Amino acid sequence: MTGRVLMVQGTGSSVGKSLIAAAFCRILRARGMSVAPFKAQNMALNSFVTPDGFEIGRAQAVQAEAAGIAPAVEMNPILLKPEPGMRSQVVVMGRPVASMSFRDYHLMRPELVRVIHDALAHLRAAHDFVVIEGAGSPAEINLRSQDLVNMHVAREADAPVILIGDIDRGGVFAQFVGTMDLLEPADRVRVAAFLINKFRGEAALLAPGIEYLEQRFGIPMLGVAPFIANLKIADEDSAALENRRGRRASHDDLDIAVIQLPHISNYDDFLPLEHEPGVCVRFIQRGEEIGAPDLLVIPGTKSTVADLAWLRASGLADAIVNRARLGAPVIGICGGCQMLGRRIDDPYAVESTVESAPALGLLPLATRFAREKRTAQVRGRAIAPSVFTGMSTEDVGDISGYEIHMGGIERDAGSPPCFQVLRLNSAAEAEDGAIAGDGAAVAGTMIHGIFDNDRLRARMLAWLRYRRGIPAPAVKTPFSRDDEYDRLASVVRENINWSLFERIAGLA
């Protein structure tokens, strides 16, 4: 079997390719098809771990969930994770290869072309349909000869392309015209339809522009997808964080401040908190923005030592330490957990040229970077009270999540961990995290996705409300990602020309 294909490309970054691809995955699944997502090369610090322990972009994990299948490494064979100094960690088929400059990376192109070919062939052999996502814009003249993710893949798969433009940022018709004019003629003919995304008005007002596009290029408009407010699906692009800056908590809201590190990763860890009623999650970058939150969080980072130095230079490090010493709750996740410890050692120069750096000294642990990255899905349970569990282990239940880190932590002798976990890809048991030994409300974990655990999240929020003496909000309907995927798919399907989509996708 060779599965059919459809490719989603965009006029630029952050136009909504990932969510439209997820919607198409959901729509095709509803037709009873086995469908898989694919993105040849992803540049992102939001990543995920497959059940067998391979690292891929978070967007492809979301699309796989929308398609109702488990994420697999073939869905994103190349992942680039930006680092300081205009370098990136290159992850090929779920395993880090090296830290490289742009020039060095493209010397690998012949090898990467084969990797992409094999991964896509594997998915097409296993599924009825593959929804392919591009990256950025296919019309970047300076990148055309080295392209691995846009028209190169469209040619490889002989895929029709739906070109998406973002009207929310303005100039959508100029986006389409500029993109089409800059494409090579052989690539231009692959564009089967346009799709306007994130519209907030009356679609009839767009008629003159749509007519112009269709007449100039002889390519139909597939539809106009509206902006979907409060969509509870993880974002791939860090540009989405700008919408979370400047939020203010009302008097009866829980105020959770997350430090927006320069190399912040897996910021979707906080999405479950953002969609809780009566909770305000705000991202901050300066000491004066901290205020008096109910919970202060240091999130994950791709560059722990560099971001620790930034914390000190910005004054945030002193503010974090002062709040913790006053008894205010502070937690760290992955790199944030490592920063809360006593020191960070990097003897193999895995992440920086600093062999050892003092950390914030709030947790009884030290970090040592290793040459091998640990990537694993985990299952476990809380074994000691901490901020994460509302200072109790009762009614927390089992937990799950995933690990992605180069540095391993070592607790001081006699210091309790937060969780006992089982790494599913190796069946190895381990103790995770640490708790401040002086009774302060400081804790850290290496587990991403920790707040996806409903009972743990509820316990923590209840304790934070009790601590401040504010009431719980009215009972709400439990959040369901399945419902959100259905909502996304329904909105997209209702706003596209379905018969045209069927013809483009070869379903008619």
Provide the annotated active-site residues.
334, 448
What is the DSSP code string of 234-283?
Answer: --SSGGGGGGGBT----TTSEEEEEE--TTEE-GGGGHHHHTSTTEEEEE
CA dihedral 211, 217, 221, 226 (to 10 degrees): -80
Strand partners, 194: 163, 221
- The edge-to-edge listing of strands for the beta sheet with 129-133 is 35-38, 129-133, 4-10, 161-166, 191-199, 221-226
Burial of 441 (0-12, 13-18, 19+ CB in 10 A): buried
- Signed CA dihedral, 457, 461, 466, 472: sign only: negative
Give the three-class secondary structure for 322.
Answer: helix
Residue 426 CB contacts under 8 Å (≥ 6 apart), including other chains: 53, 376
Give the three-class secondary structure for 25.
Answer: helix
Structure tokens at 114: 């084969």
Structure tokens at 482: 């399945």
Structure tokens at 210: 């749509």
Q: What's the rounded Cα separation, in Å, for the pair 324 and 222?
A: 54
- Signed CA dihedral, 18, 24, 29, 35: sign only: negative
Q: What's the rounded Cα separation, in Å, for the pair 232 and 425?
A: 29
Q: What's the rounded Cα separation, in Å, for the pair 261 and 304?
A: 9
